[in-house]
């Protein structure tokens, strides 16, 4: 099983977006959910600071950059592991399924949050974007995660929250469960094999039974 991280295990997406939107508003500019949403799950997205310069003609100084990050971290501190994640991780451990992460974020970001949440030891590998392979929506991160886990992609399950992530997982040949949140509900998730509102909606075993139905004997 291969999890995305941002917006799937922990809702980092909303704190990052809202902190940037507030920074734009403080400079008399706007940042819409629509333009932000398209970047979710994608590596190598444009730096919001560069977009803010385009719209205001003024770069953010160090004090305002620090204030934006402090606001992001304040919002992040209020977030807990998303519903159903703990149960799915426990189910995977009980079933003996190795678990990895395939993320468009940098490994320090992902590992730092997982360690803070007490979840880092649950994952065999963290396959994160570092510029050496193509990021999502390309399949490379998922292919690398499956290689690290020693599993054929056809026998692996991806758990995603964004259209870019679903595209990457399916291009790599994995089955995919999509769990959209407020920032990705308008994404095209039609490529997912199963769409749920929360991982708490069903157990991992129920998802596996739906995606790999038993062949009658």
| 4 has catalytic annotation | yes
Are 88 and 123 spatial neighbours (Cβ–Cβ below 8 Å)? no
β-sheet bridge partners, residue 10? 6, 81
- The 3-state DSSP class for residue 174 equals coil
Residue 154 DSSP class: G
Alpha-carbon separation of residue 137 from 25, 48, 105, 217 (angstroms):
30, 20, 13, 38
**Phi, psi of 109, deg, nearest 5:** -65, -50
Q: Which helix H or strand E contains 178, and what residues bound it?
A: strand 175-178
Active-site entry in 4, 11, 91, 193: 4
Are 170 and 138 spatial neighbours (Cβ–Cβ below 8 Å)? no
**Phi, psi of 160, deg, nearest 5:** -130, 165
Active-site entry in 6, 11, 91, 161: 6
Residues with catalytic roles:
4, 6
């Amino acid at each position: 099983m291969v999890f995305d991280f941002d917006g799937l295990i922990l809702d980092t997406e909303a704190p990052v977006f809202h902190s940037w939107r507030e920074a734009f508003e403080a400079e008399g500019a706007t940042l819409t959910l629509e333009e932000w949403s398209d970047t979710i799950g994608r590596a190598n997205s444009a730096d919001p600071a560069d977009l803010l310069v385009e719209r205001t003609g003024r770069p953010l100084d160090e004090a305002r950059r620090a204030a934006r990050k402090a606001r992001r971290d304040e919002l992040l501190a209020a977030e807990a592991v998303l519903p159903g994640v703990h149960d799915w991780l426990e189910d995977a451990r009980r079933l003996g399924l190795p678990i990895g992460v395939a993320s468009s974020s940098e490994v320090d970001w992902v590992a730092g949050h997982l360690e803070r949440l007490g979840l880092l030891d649950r994952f065999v590998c963290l396959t994160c974007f570092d510029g050496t392979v193509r990021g999502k929506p390309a399949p490379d991160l998922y292919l690398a995660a499956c290689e690290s886990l020693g599993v054929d992609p056809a026998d692996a399950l991806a758990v995603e929250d964004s259209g870019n992530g679903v595209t990457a997982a399916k291009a790599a040949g994995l089955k995919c469960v999509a769990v959209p949140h407020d920032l990705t509900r308008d994404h095209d998730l039609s490529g997912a094999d199963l769409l749920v509102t929360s991982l708490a909606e069903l157990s991992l075993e129920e998802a596996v039974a739906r995606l790999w139905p038993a062949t009658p004997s």
